[in-house]
Amino acid sequence: MAPVLSLQNISKSYGSIQALKNVSFDVPKGSVFGILGPNGSGKTTLLGIVMDILKPSAGNFFWNGQPGSSNEMRRQIGTLLETPNFYHYLSGQKNLEIAAAIKQRGNGDIPRVLEKVNLTQRRKSKFSTYSLGMKQRLAIASTLLGDPDILVFDEPTNGLDPAGIAEIRELMRQLNKQGKTIIMASHILDEVEKVCTHVAIIQKGDLKTVGTVQDVLNATPEDKIMRVDIELGAENLAALEQALKQMPGILEIISNGNGFSIHAEESITTAGINKYCFEKGIILNQLNLKRKSLETRFLEITGTQSDR
């Protein structure tokens, strides 16, 4: 199946500053594709290029096989690159009527998009009375006018409280289930892991890795020993600690009060630890393999949380 978006060696320079360096990847149809990176990594620049707001210094990109500068193609994409300038004294519905007029869409689609973002009951309320999550949902409703198959969002949960983030997360999932391909830039790793099917990690304009979220999580870090993280405990913590210090493959032992968190080489398994401790006369009352998070993998790749 042809990709929805294909980037081929995209570069962008601002004088001596190179914001993007030969970035290439494909976005599969039907995916939720996260473009992840520290602040200042080039995420917003990349979205600006694929939406033809910025011109690349080099490289090409294609939407559904068509050149990215096609006006017809761009009209088929719902985009939220910055907070829309909604009128605070107008209702949600009136604001969407203005957005529909600007986008040359009819008003007939407004009830549908309000229902999609769960704002039908508040459609006549002034925008100023909306919560942050509701304001963002109205912004997403604006991108849904005309029922585009592709949605592009820049930091869709930025500035929201936990309740607002949860609202947008669920909306993203629903839209994807309805067949939308979603491309979103974010620096909130936990949200990307919960929502996205694919991810590209960018740092200082360089594409560090790309693939399904699971592939990225499972990849071995370059120039690093692949590690597993395990939590365990026993009645006799002193004896357990002494045994763990003698066990080959244990890289680090950290006390957490009720037991230990250990970092170990990939060859170490929970079954192996259980057997080793049992042979030492230690009965474990806790033994959990911790799943690697996208945050852990992100920091392994970038070594930093910000490029600014």
List pLDDT tens digits, range 270-304. 889 999 999 999 999 988 877 555 666 666 666 65
Residue 302 counted as domain residue: no
pLDDT > 90 fraction of the chain, expressed in percent and rounded = 50
pLDDT band at 244, cuts 50/70/90? Answer: very high
**How far, in Å, CA of 235 to CA of 182, rounded?**
49
DSSP state of 122: G
Of 22, 29, 23, the C-alpha closest to 5 is 29
Residue 224, pLDDT > 50, answer no
Residue with the bigger pLDDT between 71 and 168: it is 168
Residue 307 counted as domain residue: no
Residue with the bigger pLDDT between 21 and 269: it is 21
- Shared domain for 181 and 234, answered yes or no, is no
Residue 225, pLDDT > 50, answer no
Tokens of 279: 């042979």
Residue 304 counted as domain residue: no
Total structural domains within the chain: 2
- Shared domain for 257 and 136, answered yes or no, is no
- Shared domain for 60 and 142, answered yes or no, is yes
Contact 51, 7 (CB under 8 A): no
The predicted structure's pLDDT at residue 219: 61
- Shared domain for 160 and 265, answered yes or no, is no
Instruction: Report, as an integer, the average pLDDT of 9-32.
Output: 94
- Residue 63, CA distances (Å) to 103, 159, 286 in order: 20, 30, 51
Range of the domain at 36: 5-217
List pLDDT tens digits, range 182-211. 999 988 777 787 889 999 999 889 998 898
Residue 223, pLDDT > 50, answer no
- Shared domain for 148 and 190, answered yes or no, is yes
Q: At 162, which CATH number?
A: 3.40.50.300
pTM for this prediction: 0.74
